Structure 1
């Protein structure tokens, strides 16, 4: 029973894991690309730091707000659908039972076994409704996420991810900050990807390598964009 409880908790946490991984990934990739571009264009450490701090704060607020609004809208739709189906099961019990019978038969139960199960569940309204929602409508309780928790996880993960590329610029001067920022960001993203692979029970190294490649690509694009901007600025002078 303890193992099943742990499994249930793990499934319930998948939504938060998704927010966490997405927040770190988005914060880190967007920030490392921006900072690399600013550094290669201006070479100004204060400009890089101020730009990075502003990007992290505004980006985190934007992502958290978006996460809250989308999750809240999703929850409202779920709640409305659940209430509608609860009313349907009360007002049209025969059709609700037929729907559950067909769903159970479609999953491999014989119609006789499905009929006995539906008949048994019909005496327990709460259990019947939950089974109807999951089997007929495909609505599970694990899918309903708390908007405030989702926003908080997204905000913190974005701040963490966005702050990582900034660290070398805060503690280093000169040209060494840029490669250090890119390397640190790439390694952290590899670690996040590796961890995501472990959680998803997928090849962890390949998952980490995928995240690593995205970080390197983002930094490369930022560097080229910064150089192009600097070149255009020189041409205009």
Structure 2
């Protein structure tokens, strides 16, 4: 018996990869910016650490809540579209079959073959066929709110812990530079890893993340320093 061939593509990872990369990146950038802003305002080491911890907790909860609400809204839209499609199938099954046939013809099949494919797929699972080929909903891109929320909160926390660890071990006199450099190194590694997992080029991914994160940290540190001199 021939061995069954299974193909795995990077597109299958897109849902959890997007949430985890966004969460970790935001955790590092947000926490680093908070720490740098407060440190630039000449706060004590204890105040800087407390600010970072508070940012970690608040950020993780915010990421989880925002992601859950956002993805759940997508679920609601998908469910409404599927319900509407099922109603159309109940009312005019053959009309929906012709619609599916037309879709396959636009993709390059001739009329006879497109009709046969539409008939067979609808006999197997009419709603699934229309969901996939008419609505663009399939198992690869189905929204999963709880999974997205957990991944976002967890990855944000993992990212935020990194600059916090640097704050803990850094002497106060060198905290600004150590946190800045460490955060940018972490972010470059994250950008490269994300690109690698998505089968893209690693260097552009690392440069893109590092540049915009460095800009965000510089602006935050500048604002902190400005307010530190005014207060």
TM-score, with normalisation over the residues of structure 2? 0.92
Give the Cα separation in 2 of the matches to 1:48 and 1:134.
Answer: 51
Counterpart check, 1:109 vs 2:141? no
The aligned residue for residue 137 of structure 1 is 135
Counterpart check, 1:3 vs 2:1? no
* Partner secondary structure for residue 46 of structure 1: helix
Instruction: Confirm or deny: 8 A CA contact 1:35 1:222 kept in the other structure.
Output: no
The aligned residue for residue 158 of structure 1 is 156
Give the Cα separation in 1 of the matches to 2:145 and 2:121.
Answer: 32
Deviates more, 1:47-56 or 1:80-89: 80-89
* Partner secondary structure for residue 42 of structure 1: coil
Instruction: Confirm or deny: 8 A CA contact 1:71 1:146 kept in the other structure.
Output: yes
The aligned residue for residue 190 of structure 1 is 188
* Partner secondary structure for residue 142 of structure 1: coil
Instruction: Confirm or deny: 8 A CA contact 2:24 2:157 kept in the other structure.
Output: yes
Give the Cα separation in 2 of the matches to 1:122 and 1:197.
Answer: 38
RMSD: 1.6
The aligned residue for residue 21 of structure 1 is 21
Give the Cα separation in 2 of the matches to 1:137 and 1:149.
Answer: 23
Match 2:208 to one of 192, 207, 210? 210
The aligned residue for residue 91 of structure 2 is 91
Instruction: Confirm or deny: 8 A CA contact 1:71 1:145 kept in the other structure.
Output: yes
* Partner secondary structure for residue 172 of structure 2: coil
Structure 2 portions without partners, runs of 5+: none
The aligned residue for residue 68 of structure 1 is 68
Instruction: Confirm or deny: 8 A CA contact 2:36 2:217 kept in the other structure.
Output: yes
Query: Shift in Å at residue 185 of structure 1?
Result: 0.9
Say if 1:114 and 1:23 are closer, same or farther in 2 by CA, change over 3 A: same
Match 2:172 to one of 171, 174, 177? 174
Counterpart check, 1:58 vs 2:61? no
Deviates more, 1:139-148 or 1:59-68: 139-148
TM-score, with normalisation over the residues of structure 1? 0.90
